[in-house]
Amino acid sequence: MINLEAPKKAGALINQAYQAAAEVFRPISRKYDSAEHTYPAELDMFAALLDGLNSSGEGGAGAAGVRRSNDKEDKKPSNRNGANLNVVLGTIEMCWGDVGLLLSMPRQGLGNAAIGSVATDEQIKRFGKTWAAMAITEPGCGSDSAAITTTAKLDGDHYVINGEKIFVTSGQRADSVVVWATLAKSMGKAAIKSFFVEKGTPGFEVVRVEHKLGIRASDTAVLRFENCRVPKENLLGTPDVDVNKSFAGVMQTFDNTRPLVAAMGVGVARAALEETKRILTEAGVTIDYDKPPNTQHAAAAAFIQLEADYESAYLLTLESAWMADNRKPNSLQASMAKAKAGRSVVDITLRCVELAGVVGYTEETLLEKWARDAKILDIFEGTQQIQQLIVARRILGKTSAELK
């Protein structure tokens, strides 16, 4: 039997996250959307809250990692006590408040998810408490992560990193960054590794901060590395190049971050639906779930359809997190959740703006802001098109070379 409800043990976490979203995020949402690039000082007090959510298991509200059991003798490895599911449920609530503000939370960068996923136990102890951004995308390399050109060459006890990264979330504010670079271009994607680089390291420069359509509370930066030397111990995981496993290791990060981005989309979509339902109700539109949609007001019928779209994205997102908690390979489900939630949140928020009429298009409500915020959730951590490719390859059993 499938239980489609959130676990009762997650109730306190959900309530805590909801209260933070309602009492802090929502009231300052418009303020920091208008004051782009201004750090939300109100978030400092919530660093402890997010740290508390992290203690729910081996991970946290935005910084968990999907770790696999390395114990070959462990035939039945235990699950992670709902840590990933807690992360997803907390993220949904916080993004119901404001997705840009969640992305600005200290010590909750996407680089933390990379550390949690592929770092050794010793590295997690050293780097786990930092605020880490994640740098993958380059000027000539977007969705195809395997095509990155940033290099890392071993020189004695250090790796020398050279390259440029763009669209790095929290790239300016974070304390450190996890950089994807290749050990040898001739060896292809198997030589791609991730490196932990602290701010202030010589050769590491924040070039500029981007102006954006949405999530304006969050900073998005361009980073440059010129002969940047980092200790060889800062290579996350193993330095060995294995054509069968190396790139899969760094890509394992996405098994965690894609459900998180899906959860962000679910949270924003829920916020838009709740506000739209309030507006329609005040306008005298009755939504009756006991009647066929085609026998109701056109706005009510459209709203019911949007809610169904939301529910499917929500359930796919929970499934991908549940699988990670139970140590089941979730790459397919993570991409399905990301693809569905990314598309749904864009469709839902834009349709909600339309259903609300003039009220939805002005700044009288947050509907227009949520519509702007939504688009990035269909783009970063792998675009809609890339997710569909991944899903098709997994279902058909094709390689990236066989199905492009």
Q: Can you tell me the mean pLDDT for 270-278?
A: 98
Look at the chain and report how many structural domains it folds into.
Answer: 3
One domain, residues 121 and 187: no
CA neighbor of 261 nearest in space, from 323, 178, 317, 195: 317
Q: What angle do CA 326, 328, 331 make, to 5 degrees?
A: 130
- Would you say residue 390 lies in a domain? yes
Q: CATH number, domain at 344?
A: 1.20.140.10
Question: For the chain, first and last CA: distance in Å?
Answer: 38
Tell me what pLDDT residue 400 has: 83
In terms of domains, do 153 and 179 share one? yes
Catalytically annotated residue among 138, 164, 275, 381: 381
Residue 310's domain comprises: 246-396
Of 196, 212, 234, which one is at a domain's C-terminal end?
Answer: 234
3-state helix, strand, coil in the chain (%, to 5): 50, 15, 35
Is residue 96 included in any domain, yes or no?
Answer: yes
Kindly state whether residue 1 falls inside one of the protein's structural domains.
no
Whether 251 shows a pLDDT value over 70: the answer reads no
State how far the Cα of 250 lies from the Cα of 133, in Å rounded to an integer: 15
Q: What is the CATH number of the domain that holds 169?
A: 2.40.110.10
196 vs 257, higher pLDDT: 196
pLDDT, tens digit (0-9, with 9 covering 90-100), for 176-232 = 999 999 999 888 888 999 999 999 999 999 999 999 999 999 999 999 999 999 999
Predicted model pTM: 0.90
Residues 6+ apart with CB under 8 A from 158: 229, 230, 231, 232
CATH code of the domain in which 54 resides: 1.10.540.10
The answer to which of 73-82, 116-125, 334-343 has the lowest mean pLDDT is: 73-82
What percentage of the chain has pLDDT greater than the value 70?
A: 87
Whether residue 296 sits in one domain with residue 373: yes
Q: Last residue of some domain: 234, 266, 292?
A: 234
**275, containing H or E segment:** helix 246-282
Q: Which of 116-120, 124-128, 185-189, 270-274 has the largest mean confidence? A: 270-274
The answer to whether residue 172 sits within a structural domain is: yes
What is the structure's pLDDT at 53? Answer: 54
The pLDDT value given to residue 109: 80
Whether 348 and 259 share a structural domain = yes
Residue 58 among the catalytic residues: no
Whether the Cβ atoms of residue 345 and residue 268 lie closer than 8 Å to each other: yes
Q: End of a domain among 77, 105, 127?
A: 127
